[in-house]
Amino acid sequence: MTTPAFNEVAFRNQFPAFENSTDFPAAQLQGWWTMGSAYINPDNVYPWNFKTNQLQLALDLMCAHLGQSYSLINVGVPTVIVQGTAEGTVNVSLTPPPVKSSFGWWLATTSYGQQLRALLKTVANVGLFVGGSPENSGFRKIGGVF
């Protein structure tokens, strides 16, 4: 599999929220993309079963997720999931983590992270097969007998 690289033009076309090169300089996007590769290692295929285009999309989504998260934090917006709001007497209710892991909850704080989480769930392997003979992992034993 070919290891993907950051493609600024393709990224900006895919995610129009980041098309303004003044607000989001190329070096900043590259930095977020590189940071995202610490979460999704492009050189390690386990436990993910990525095809090249899926890995590129996953890394681009992680870059967009980090970009949106940092943008929200920089303007003072907390990265939490808001369940409901009210205007009179100002009432805000936050959603507790709706997922089992803190990584999943963190991804749920942006729409890009939610897309990434769905992609990761789609391409995740079920785990390692430990022990036993390879014959037991199929329906029939070698030679066609049960």
pLDDT in tens, 89-131: 777 776 666 667 778 888 888 899 999 998 888 886 554 444 5
Nearest of 35, 38, 33, 79 to residue 57 by alpha carbon: 33
Query: Given the structure tokens 């590189």, which residue do they identify?
Result: 34
Task: Count CB neighbours of 28 within 10 A.
Answer: 14
pLDDT at 10 over 90: yes
Kind plus residue range of the DSSP H or E element containing 112: helix 111-123
- Omega prior to 16 cis, within 30 of 0: no
Q: pLDDT class for 61, splitting at 50, 70, 90? A: very high
Query: Which of 24, 32, 21 has its CA nearest to residue 60?
Result: 32
Lowest model confidence (mean pLDDT) among 21-25, 67-71, 89-93: 89-93
Provide the b/e sequence for 87-111 (b: ≥16 CB within 10 Å): eeeeeeeeeeeeeeeeebbbbbbbe
Ramachandran angles phi, psi of 2, nearest 5°: -80, 130
Residue 80 pLDDT > 90: no
